[in-house]
């Protein structure tokens, strides 16, 4: 064990490096899509509005970046298996990655599949962050678990329509951003080794 992490090799470390690098760029693409969407409101518009339609600049950026993000989470599950040998973390990361990629493939106008994949992405990302508590032995374990719990609580609030004045889009960001921070932090923490 090195640096407070159960890590079984250089190859897994290299994979996580690539994974963390690409994930950190996802937030940049999200911001660009928000800028290009006419009259977009962080409070009023859910994230999926950025991907609605096929021929506007924000939808192309959003959908492609979400699909890449989902595929990277799936790739990250492979490296997590090699590094940690934790089947439970791998399963929830795979389900989260499938959900995330599914959001990009099934835009919000394809309602039922979009809702299913969105729920998978939100729920399993939160669960993955909570499960990482068992694998990380440094203080990051508490931060990761807190991010996961925050994601899950915000998801419940989002589903029942309690937004504390943040609006529909604002409370949805309280679900997504902690999970995104966890993915970046978990990958970076492993790289730091």
Mind giving me the DSSP string for 118-181? HHHHHHHHHHHHHHGGGTB-STHHHHHHHHHHHHHHHHHHHHHT--TTSHHHHHHHHHHHHHHH
pLDDT range class, residue 165, cuts 50, 70, 90: very high
- Position 173 scores a pLDDT of 95
Any domain includes 2: no
Q: Is 18 a residue whose pLDDT tops 50?
A: yes
Higher pLDDT, 120 or 141: 120
| 2 SS3 class | strand
Average pLDDT estimate for 27-48:
88
The H or E element containing residue 20 is helix 10-36
Q: Is 21 a residue whose pLDDT tops 60?
A: no
- Which residues span the domain enclosing 17? 10-192
Q: Tell me the β-bridge partners of 2.
A: 5
**Diameter over CA atoms, the chain:** 50
Any domain includes 1: no
* Number of structural domains found in the chain: 1
pLDDT tens digits, 40-93: 999 999 999 999 876 678 898 899 989 999 998 998 888 778 778 889 999 999
Any domain includes 47: yes
pLDDT range class, residue 14, cuts 50, 70, 90: low
The tokens describing 180, both together, are 């995104």
- Position 84 scores a pLDDT of 81
| 8 A C-beta contact, residue 58 and residue 33 | yes
pLDDT tens digits, 89-122: 999 999 999 999 999 999 998 999 999 999 999 9
Any domain includes 3: no
Spell out a b/e string for 156-187, using b for 16 or more CB atoms within 10 Å of the CB, else e: ebbeeeebeebbebbbbbbbbbbbbbbbbbbb
- Position 56 scores a pLDDT of 77
> Torsion angle of alpha carbons 134, 19, 28, 4, nearest 10°?
40
**Phi, psi at 34, each rounded to 5°:** -65, -40
Neighbours of 20 (CB within 10 A): 21
Q: What is the pTM of this model?
A: 0.86
- Position 99 scores a pLDDT of 98
pLDDT range class, residue 138, cuts 50, 70, 90: confident
Any domain includes 5: no
- Dihedral sign, Cα of residue 4, residue 10, residue 16, residue 18: positive
- Position 4 scores a pLDDT of 44
Any domain includes 46: yes
Provide Rg for the chain, Cα atoms.
Answer: 16
Lowest-confidence range among 32-36, 129-133, 156-160?
32-36
Percent of the chain with pLDDT over 70: 83
Neighbours of 28 (CB within 10 A): 10
Any domain includes 146: yes
């Amino acid at each position: 064990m090195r640096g407070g992490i159960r890590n079984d090799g250089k190859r897994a470390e290299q994979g996580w490096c690539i994974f963390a690098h690409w994930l950190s760029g996802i937030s940049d693409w999200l911001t660009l899509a928000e800028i290009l969407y006419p009259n977009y409101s962080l409070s009023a518009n859910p994230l999926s509005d950025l991907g609605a339609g096929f021929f506007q600049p924000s939808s192309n950026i959003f959908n492609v970046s979400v699909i890449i993000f989902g595929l990277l989470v799936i790739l990250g599950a492979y490296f997590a298996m090699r590094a940690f040998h934790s089947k439970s973390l791998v399963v929830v990361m795979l389900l989260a990655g499938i959900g995330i990629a599914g959001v990009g493939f099934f835009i919000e106008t394809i309602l039922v599949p979009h809702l299913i994949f969105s729920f998978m992405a939100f729920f399993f990302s939160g669960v993955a962050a909570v499960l990482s508590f068992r694998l990380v032995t440094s203080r990051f374990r508490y931060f990761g678990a807190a991010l996961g719990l925050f994601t899950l609580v915000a998801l419940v609030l989002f589903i029942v329509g309690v937004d504390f004045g943040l609006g529909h889009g604002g409370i949805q960001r309280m679900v997504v951003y902690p999970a995104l921070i966890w993915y970046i932090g978990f990958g970076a923490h492993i790289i730091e080794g």
